[in-house]
């Protein structure tokens, strides 16, 4: 059954340029959004930028610009980058836009009225880089330096508005209890649960920052704390009559571990508080917060001074050398989903590219096209009387298994495993499943040796069956891989007479996964077009 599906990325600070971390989260969200569109779901995918940070004021001042001028310039860099990288977001957040600012003030006015927001005073250790207070015990543990960037913490005292987070300890614990997969991975969930037990009220307004920010309702001296302003983006941008159903369907927030506390504790508590206010009974908590880990680079933390920073220029180089889909595939299959950091290393990238993309998928597709050209004049052959083996038997050899399945059942199993993986946001495992399917096709070709059989004209019907099975399995593999490597899969579709998939996805924004993965849809007689290698094998320049 088609669902409504809403997915978001963090909104990124515009003080700096986009880098691989931002590109990663947004690409993974794009893969998930595309997967749901492929299923036929009604998808809304939101990404964008967070503009009201104090560090944006500093970055602008260094360049002799106003914060708004700098934010305008850099928001465009983020948006252009995401467009260039094939990201299919449905809207692009800019928190300096009126449509956001007006709603945030409305929400806070309601919370002031309900009493969950009140005025008070705060003193504590402040991490300016992260724009957040650190608890006294954490400050001490880290030697009064930022746990994130190591810069000294500052002692700060402010008159602020506060959100009564302490009143939501028990409701949050109960919510976590009733929604076991609310925070993923599980290890992250436990960290947050422990911290919720000691949650204290949080300041949600600021003085200073040169007035850069959303004016606090009813108090011209204060602006809304950038983190509260930012979290609300997930709601403000869909709080319109035509989009509200996306919020109500339960948002999936994809983030990294650095910003989990805000998302997993403060945000659901704010939403619980809002729901109690007049006119907001439609506000529900998100469905899931998935916090991935970090990319490091060439074995070390990414840093500009070490020269291992994967910035926009580096990203462009990878795309120019290997293709955008190769970058997407590497991010999707070797990235830090889960609780361990991943290493972005050039040698690893090349190995994955050559092994999975050039030698497995690209090579297998060329082999099938070439043999079809040679033995059947380039048209998809008719399945003749049976071939002696099944693709599922080849899988037994690939996987060292003892059971074997007929071809169609085998492919159905791969599809089911892939769907299960993507539903659980386990993209790398999903891709691994498709890679196995393609490897099994390769082994099947080795085992059945159509290139030998074809020497005997009496065996051509059998060769036809073998090549049909191969082409059909590759067609299904290309449907499954589309969310990850869309351009190359669309190229496969063009060559096998399935361009209508791409047209449906582009025109209707929805696919028909259940139909497209059914075995036996490739039409015999359809021309199988030859062309350039999908992923030319990469050789080091001499």
Q: Would you tell me which residues interact with ligand MSP (CB under 6 A)? A: 10-13, 21-22, 24-25, 50, 230-231, 255-256, 258-259, 294-295, 302
Choice between 287 and 389, CB closer to ligand MSP: 287
Rg (the chain; Cα; Å) = 26
Question: What's the min distance (Å) between Cβ of 260 and ligand MSP?
Answer: 8
Task: Give 273's contacts (C-beta < 8 A, 6+ positions apart).
Answer: 111, 114, 116, 163, 164, 168
Question: What's the min distance (Å) between Cβ of 180 and ligand MSP?
Answer: 23
Choice between 337 and 369, CB closer to ligand MSP: 337
Question: What's the min distance (Å) between Cβ of 16 and ligand MSP?
Answer: 7
Nearest-CB residue for ligand MSP = 21
Query: What angle in degrees, to the nearest 10, is found between the helix axes of 363-376 and 427-448?
Result: 40
> Nearest CA to 422 among 20, 2, 36?
36
Note the maximum CA span of the chain.
90
Choice between 285 and 381, CB closer to ligand MSP: 285
Choice between 283 and 505, CB closer to ligand MSP: 283
Choice between 259 and 380, CB closer to ligand MSP: 259
Q: Report the distance separating Cα 224 and Cα 455, nearest Å.
A: 77
Choice between 309 and 519, CB closer to ligand MSP: 309
Strands of the sheet containing 4-13, edge to edge, are 91-94, 42-50, 4-13, 251-256, 288-292, 183-184
Q: Are 530 and 378 in contact (CB under 8 A)?
A: yes
Question: What's the min distance (Å) between Cβ of 511 and ligand MSP?
Answer: 27
Q: Are 96 and 48 in contact (CB under 8 A)?
A: no
Choice between 93 and 453, CB closer to ligand MSP: 93
Q: Are 494 and 500 in contact (CB under 8 A)?
A: no
Q: Report the distance separating Cα 467 and Cα 446, nearest Å.
A: 12
Choice between 146 and 372, CB closer to ligand MSP: 146
Q: Which residue has the tokens 């997915």?
A: 7
Question: What's the min distance (Å) between Cβ of 455 and ligand MSP?
Answer: 53
Question: What's the min distance (Å) between Cβ of 316 and ligand MSP?
Answer: 18
**Main-chain phi, psi angles of 433, to 5 degrees:** -65, -40
Looking at the DSSP assignment, which residues form a beta bridge with residue 223?
206, 215
**Token pair for residue 422?**
């993507």
Choice between 104 and 498, CB closer to ligand MSP: 104
Question: What's the min distance (Å) between Cβ of 317 and ligand MSP?
Answer: 18
Question: What's the min distance (Å) between Cβ of 236 and ligand MSP?
Answer: 11
Question: What's the min distance (Å) between Cβ of 230 and ligand MSP?
Answer: 4
Q: Report the distance separating Cα 479 and Cα 360, nearest Å.
A: 16
Query: Do strands 219-224 and 251-256 pair parallel, antiparallel, or not at all (unpaired)?
Result: unpaired
Q: Running DSSP on this structure, what letter comes out for residue 168?
A: G
């Amino acid at each position: 059954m088609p669902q409504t599906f809403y997915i978001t990325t963090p909104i990124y600070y515009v003080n700096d340029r986009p880098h691989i971390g931002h590109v990663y989260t947004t690409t993974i969200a794009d893969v998930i959004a595309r997967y749901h569109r492929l299923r036929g779901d009604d998808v809304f995918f939101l990404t964008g930028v967070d503009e009201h940070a104090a560090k944006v004021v500093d970055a602008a001042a260094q360049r002799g610009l106003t914060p708004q001028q700098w934010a305008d310039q850099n928001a465009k860099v983020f948006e252009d980058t995401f467009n260039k990288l094939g990201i299919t977001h449905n809207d692009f957040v800019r928190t300096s836009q009126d449509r956001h600012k007006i709603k945030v003030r409305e929400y806070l006015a309601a919370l002031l009225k309900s009493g969950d927001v009140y005025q008070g005073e705060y003193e504590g250790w402040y991490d300016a880089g992260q724009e957040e207070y650190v608890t006294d015990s954490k400050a001490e543990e880290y030697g009064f330096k930022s746990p994130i960037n190591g810069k000294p913490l500052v002692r700060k005292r402010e008159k602020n508005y506060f959100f009564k987070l302490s009143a939501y300890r028990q409701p949050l614990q109960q919510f976590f209890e009733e929604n076991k997969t609310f925070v993923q991975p599980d290890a992250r969930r436990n960290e947050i649960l422990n911290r919720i037990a000691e949650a204290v009220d949080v300041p949600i307004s600021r003085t200073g920052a040169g007035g850069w920010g959303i004016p606090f309702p009813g108090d011209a001296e204060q602006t809304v704390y950038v983190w509260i302003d930012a979290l609300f983006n997930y709601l403000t941008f869909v709080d319109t009559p035509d989009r509200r159903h996306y919020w109500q369907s339960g948002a999936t927030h994809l983030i990294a571990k650095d910003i989990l506390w805000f998302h997993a504790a403060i945000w659901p508590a704010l939403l619980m508080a809002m729901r109690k206010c007049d006119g907001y009974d439609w506000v529900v908590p998100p469905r899931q917060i998935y916090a991935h880990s970090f990319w490091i680079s060439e074995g070390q933390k990414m840093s500009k001074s070490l020269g291992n920073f994967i910035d926009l220029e580096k990203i462009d180089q990878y795309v120019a050398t290997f293709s955008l889909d190769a970058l997407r595939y590497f991010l999707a299959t070797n990235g830090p989903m889960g609780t361990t950091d991943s290493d972005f290393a050039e040698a690893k990238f090349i190995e994955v590219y050559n092994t999975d993309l050039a030698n497995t998928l690209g090579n297998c597709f060329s082999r099938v096209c070439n043999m079809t050209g040679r033995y059947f004049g380039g048209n998809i052959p008719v399945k003749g009387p049976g071939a002696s083996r099944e693709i599922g038997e080849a899988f037994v050899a690939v996987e060292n298994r003892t059971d074997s399945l007929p071809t169609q059942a085998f492919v159905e199993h791969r599809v089911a495993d892939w769907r299960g993986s993507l539903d659980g946001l386990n993209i790398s495992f999903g891709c691994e499943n498709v890679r196995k399917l393609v490897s099994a096709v390769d082994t099947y070709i080795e085992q059945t040796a159509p290139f030998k059989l074809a020497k005997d004209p009496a065996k051509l019907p059998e060769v036809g069956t073998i090549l049909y099975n191969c082409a059909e399995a590759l067609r299904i593999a290309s449907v499954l891989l589309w969310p990850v490597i869309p351009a190359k899969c669309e190229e496969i579709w063009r060559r096998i007479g399935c361009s209508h998939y791409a047209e449906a996805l582009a025109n209707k924004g929805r696919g028909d996964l259940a139909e497209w993965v059914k075995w036996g849809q490739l039409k015999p007689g359809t021309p199988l077009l030859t062309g350039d290698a999908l992923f030319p094998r990469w050789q080091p320049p001499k």
